[in-house]
Structure 1
Amino acid sequence: MLGRFTLRGRVMLAYGLLALGLSAVLAMVTWGVVSDYLTHQREQSAKLVTEESTTALRYGLFGVPDPCQPAREHTECPEPTLQPGVSPMAVLNSLPSTDAAASMLYVDEHWYALTGKPSDLPPDLIQSALGGTPVQRRIDINGRPVLAVGVPLGAGTRGDAFFEWHPLSTLDATLDTLKITLIAAAVATTLIGLAVGRLASTVALRPLAELAGVADAIAHGKLDARLQAENDKDLGGLARSFNRTAADLERRVATDARFAGDVSHELRTPLMTMLNSMQLIQNHRDELPAAVREPVELLGDDLDRFRRLVIDLLEISRDDGGDRGSRETVRIADLVRAAADAAAGREVTEVEHEAEGLTLQADKRRLERVVANLVENAEDHAGGCKGVGVRTGGLGVVITVDDAGPGIAVEDRARIFERFGRGETSGRGRGVGLGLAIVARHVQWHRGTIRVTERPGGGARFVIELPAKTS
């Protein structure tokens, strides 16, 4: 499951889960302590109010706050008796106002109530209070939560008691508010944890991002890229090892490039001699015996293929050797038209009107080579060039080269740009598999992109995007 997340995502998730766990534990502890405290306070308050009202009732009904007070010296309390002429309902009406929602009195085997109905009280709660045991319980009256409190009026066998219920809506609303606040705080803490995790991962993974950037630069041919963390106590060893490896690679590539360049230069002189000799022989082809003409043609084709190989090797060795080239402002339409038409030997270029004025800071030689190689590839291996287009779009300008061949299989579209890489549908011809590798290198040098798609109507279409601007 965690494999689906990036390293940065896993760090963020770890911080977020940690924040969620801590906030959840804190919220539960806070909820438990505060809710128990508020509930206990409300119950004690309700009980105290009911006991005070009970004391007032005892005085009004029996003449004393406590029926057992006259018999403190005796072992038993006397049976409490109502004062002559006292009306229980009048005494109940004379009680001071409290937060009670209902007050009910059971005395002398009769019920008296200002508000509420005795039938709403649980029977066992009534029996406990009438039996001389103070009792309180949370119940629902018409869907509203209340705290019912029952207090006996005396300790005798008479079985008189006073009942009140106190609304708990305010307490429940307070607890609901507390619950929502704690949940919101937990969510906010989790989000803060994720933000802190992102910040921490950004700081912690910055050297790794730099390493990835430098490695990507080297993979794209910038062999002089180096890490700048050699003095870091934690990453210094890795940085120095990586930089040594990159330096060794750069030296190896430069050595190989110089070797290829030297070999290619050394081959040019004998190659020119052989080409001139072959040209002389071909000029007198009609004078040659018929049995010799076919071997001479084959030899001429191989010499031309050898010439292309030497030229391509010189081009690649120049790039690998660190040739940075020179940039100048060129009109893309004019350059593409001249290079493509010359390579095809006929007019094949079509320029969109909006693209006529586009310019590019380019190495003219490299860009001409890109266009020429693609057109020659179409001519030699794909049934001929069907057209070269220049239009606005993409990074600035889009150059397309269409051919009449069978197209290039999807699995081969990346491989054909590798050195000596040839697709299964490329056919057999004079190419050696370096032309498209040179094209890809030169396009990349211009900070552009190249890809292969299908041409409408059949064949392959090479699409180049280069950063350009209107002149």
Structure 2
Amino acid sequence: MMLAYGLLALGLSTVLAIVTWGVVSDYLTQQRETSAVTVTEDNAAALRYGLFGPPEPCPPVRERVECPSPTLQPGATPMHVMNSLPSTDAAASMLYLEGDWYALTGKPSDLPPDLIQAAIGGSVAQRRIEVGGQPVLAVGVPIGRQGEAFFEWHPLSALDNTLRSLKITLIAAAIATALAGLAVGRLASTLALRPLAELTRVADAVARGKLDARLHAENDKDLGGLARSFNQTAADLERRVAADARFAGDVSHELRTPLMTMLNSMQLIQNHRAELPAAVREPVELLGDDLERFRRLVVDLLEISRDDGGDRGSREIVRIADLVRAAADAAAGREVTVVEPGAEGLTLQADKRRLERVIANLVENAEDHAGGCKGVGVAAGGLGVVITVDDAGPGIPVEDRARIFERFGRGETSGRGRGVGLGLAIVARHVQWHHGTIHVTAPPDGGARFVIELPAKIS
């Protein structure tokens, strides 16, 4: 819309400028030429009077006698008469009389031959020429005797300057009109598309998990129906997600009691593993691994359902370096954390449980599914602090780097495919809860690097 307004304004202003230029330039040029011819004719008449005196009356036409040719008055010299002519804007005056040239200024050789022939032939002629690099209008006027004429040229610099100024003004006006058209188009499109911009904003908020976002345009005559449908869809989605969250939470809570019984029983069996027959030991180990996966799945489901249920958590000031060091080293079972000096004093208003879960999940993910955790780094930068977790796995393809943060989303690599697919989704939810960002890159030495940026500051 903005482009259309701009092009329309440019087109109209261009047409108007072309028409204005054509009319005004033709008018000014014609007026200048008419003025120059008139001045030259007046000077020629004055010159003719000074050289030949008053014209003698011609006999009546019925007598078939030609008018007598005027003769020079005694003592009348061409140069003296030319000097006595009134001052005009003519830059040069020349007279061709009785086969000789007389000139106050200018050179007859600068006159076009066709102009000279036309004037001495008895016709008023004019030509645009350049003399000394300056544009002039040369005018030739007969002075009453055959083969004699008076010539002047008049400068056109003022006319050219006026036309140049007019051209620049019209071009500037066309550009200014086009810019004004763009501004009007921008304003019109903003006003026209404001409801759609609001729809885009609310839809983006819903896509980012803010399911209580609603459109406030239900009374709009154009978008009221769309707004009501969208709000109804969002409300249904919010109720559905809440119901699913309650269901997952209820199921997880119901599973905790039998799960704890099975885990305790498995622990008891493993304590007496040496007493078991050899043929039973391997199935017991497999059952123990599956129970551990089941336990993690239940814990992750409880964590997800807690977030979906609207758990606001509690914020407190934490020293990021200390929290990351404790959580990462505990999850890896060894020291894996390196804190740069500039990050030691950084603090954050955080939910300790959520932030510890973020670090623990990433380290456990590296330990269990990516060949081990190569290191955890804490440095100042980004939004405030940058936390990196490097693993020794085969890396994550670019096309999988967004999908792995979805619920039950897994990479295509076999090592990462054995997870239950909720750990990284929890990480992404908790990082977003802290107003931070997380993404995956490929470090130079191979593997995958999870990069978390959080809004921290020096305490």
Describe the superposition over 1:81-140 as per-residue Cα deviations: whole angstroms up to 9, x where unpaired: 222332223222221221111111223333222222223222222222222222222122
Question: Aligned ranges for residues 241-320 of structure 1 at < 5 Å?
Answer: 241-320=229-308
1:113 paired residue number: 103
Query: Identity over the aligned pairs, expressed in percent?
Result: 84
Aligned residues: 456
The reply on whether 1:39 has 2:25 as its aligned counterpart is no
Counterpart amino acid of residue 240 in structure 1: R
Which range is displaced more, 421-430 or 83-92? 421-430
1:418 paired residue number: 406
Q: CA deviation at 1:447?
A: 0.9
Q: How many angstroms apart in 2 are the aligned matches of 1:313 and 1:353? A: 38
1:335 paired residue number: 323
Counterpart amino acid of residue 70 in structure 1: P
Which range is displaced more, 161-170 or 230-239? 230-239
The reply on whether 1:216 has 2:216 as its aligned counterpart is no
2:348 paired residue number: 360
1:230 counterpart SS class:
coil
Q: How many angstroms apart in 2 are the aligned matches of 1:441 and 1:189? A: 51
Answer yes or no: is the 8 Å Cα contact 1:417–1:437 preserved in 2.
Answer: yes
2:57 counterpart SS class:
helix
2:449 counterpart SS class:
strand
TM value normalised by structure 2 = 0.94
Describe the superposition over 1:243-265 as per-residue Cα deviations: whole angstroms up to 9, x where unpaired: 11111111111111111112112
Which range is displaced more, 420-429 or 352-361? 420-429
- 1:407–1:428 CA distance, 2 compared to 1 (3 A): closer
1:345 paired residue number: 333
The reply on whether 1:150 has 2:137 as its aligned counterpart is no
The reply on whether 1:183 has 2:132 as its aligned counterpart is no
Counterpart amino acid of residue 150 in structure 1: G
Describe the superposition over 1:357-401 as per-residue Cα deviations: whole angstroms up to 9, x where unpaired: 222111221111111111111111122222222221111111122
Q: Select which of 89, 96, 103 maps to 2:86.
A: 96
Query: Alignment RMSD, CA only?
Result: 1.9
Q: How many angstroms apart in 1 are the aligned matches of 2:248 and 2:232? A: 24
- 1:353–1:121 CA distance, 2 compared to 1 (3 A): closer
1:225 paired residue number: 213
Q: How many angstroms apart in 2 are the aligned matches of 1:150 and 1:122? A: 10
2:221 counterpart SS class:
coil
The reply on whether 1:19 has 2:28 as its aligned counterpart is no
Which range is displaced more, 71-80 or 248-257? 71-80
Describe the superposition over 1:258-311 as per-residue Cα deviations: whole angstroms up to 9, x where unpaired: 111121122112212211221222122111111111111111111111111111
1:406 counterpart SS class:
coil
Q: CA deviation at 1:430?
A: 5.9
Describe the superposition over 1:422-446 as per-residue Cα deviations: whole angstroms up to 9, x where unpaired: 2233516862111111111111111
- 1:211–1:428 CA distance, 2 compared to 1 (3 A): closer
Counterpart amino acid of residue 111 in structure 1: W
Q: How many angstroms apart in 1 are the aligned matches of 2:351 and 2:284? A: 39
Answer yes or no: is the 8 Å Cα contact 1:380–1:430 preserved in 2.
Answer: no
1:8 paired residue number: none
Answer yes or no: is the 8 Å Cα contact 2:370–2:416 preserved in 1.
Answer: no
Q: How many angstroms apart in 1 are the aligned matches of 2:219 and 2:276? A: 74
Q: How many angstroms apart in 2 are the aligned matches of 1:241 and 1:408? A: 40
Q: Select which of 175, 190, 197 maps to 1:202.
A: 190
1:237 paired residue number: 225
Answer yes or no: is the 8 Å Cα contact 1:406–1:459 preserved in 2.
Answer: yes
Specify every segment of 5 or more residues in structure 1 that has no aligned partner in the other structure, as ranges: 1-10
TM value normalised by structure 1 = 0.92
Specify every segment of 5 or more residues in structure 2 that has no aligned partner in the other structure, as ranges: none
Q: How many angstroms apart in 2 are the aligned matches of 1:408 and 1:58? A: 103
Counterpart amino acid of residue 62 in structure 1: F
Q: Select which of 71, 76, 88 maps to 1:81.
A: 71
2:85 counterpart SS class:
coil
2:58 paired residue number: 71
